[in-house]
Structure 1
Amino acid sequence: MGGKNMEMDKKGMMNEVGGAFVVSWLVFSGMGQGMGTLTGALVLAGGWMAFSGAHILPAVTWMHIMTGDLQDSNHWMNNGMKLLMQVIGAALAVAMMSEGLGDLSPAYDAATTDAWEFSLWAMVGMIAAGAIVSKIHASCDAWVTAIAIMAVSGAYLANGDATATMSLMDFGSAHNMGSMLLGDSGDMADVAMPWIIHGAMFGIGARVGAEIDGAME
């Protein structure tokens, strides 16, 4: 039984790598249109259907983390491995695309670093997004969740003034982490912050939504 479970875990991790590879290649790379497009939503929905059980996006993994048993160490370990596999899958896609399109590493600068400074409304927006998407994910088919993520990806917040905006959620954080690991890792802190913080806030929103849903039953 233990060997079978381990084999199933390996298959799940390989599905995570494969799903992240496909989405990074077709959605987040230099030739992709981003997650806030219909193409991005269709590729994500197709990835979920083709790679059974894969989360593909870090935010989705955090959603499962925060709505699961937080006291279970295996729960944290399994989902932590999924986060790692997503970065590996994205890195493989970036490595392949770099051969034809040159350096695809994300460009981060001081302005980008400032964008990740604490913002109450950004946090509230991420939590709200997590609550909404998790409810849809629990009640609807995969393609509906993909459409919801597309809508959230198109949401922007004012950043400092009316003309400067930043995306509410960075669903491409695994892709950026993979790019950074293949580069000089000089901007690791800037890339890691949305990978962790955005996902965690999204997951907290999912937990809040689940608690509210449970209280209303």
Structure 2
Amino acid sequence: MGDKDKIIAVPRADADARRALAERMGALHITRIGEMPRIELYLDQVLTLVTQELEFMQVPGDAVVTGSMVNNYVKQGVIPAPRKKRYTRRHLASLLFVCAFKRVFSIAQVKQLMERIYASGADLAWLYDAACELLERSLAACFANAERLEVLRESDPGLLDTADKGLDPELEHLIEAAVASLATRVYVEQTLLLADAGARS
């Protein structure tokens, strides 16, 4: 049996660590517009705030945001240009929105989404706050379900219905969450493609 054919046993994550992570995600609070600094900020201050705010979704070796990223987003029209090199709450909210969504979508798709938001005439402060609340609730639900999966399985076997297949419950939850994320991504991509095709015709 070659090295590629060997089955590697991966130990389950420590239950206390998983519980702590679930509690942290359940208590997560993303700064709302009214809680952001009232003064205009310089780029280095913005980078620090955005990095701290999105720390919960950061992965090792991957920068949440850099100065060159912000400059590119401004050049591409993804976020508004700063005024005299200073950034307002609206800039900060837009950048947080972009940096969060670029985790799952290309910057071109995020730009399309932001353009539609800007063109909608919606109250951007309200929309940002509502999106933060939805993300908090979604994260809390995902991590709470991971902790309660065995209890939930008694009444709901889940999408995969693998109770008799020997699949680890934590892995099953991850797969279900990945499938849900993929479905959401496809919905957003196809809706934006359809809107783009309609705009060209």
Fold similarity call, TM over 0.5: no
Q: When you count strand as a share of all residues, which structure comes out higher? A: 1
**TM-score between both structures, scaled by the size of structure 1:** 0.29
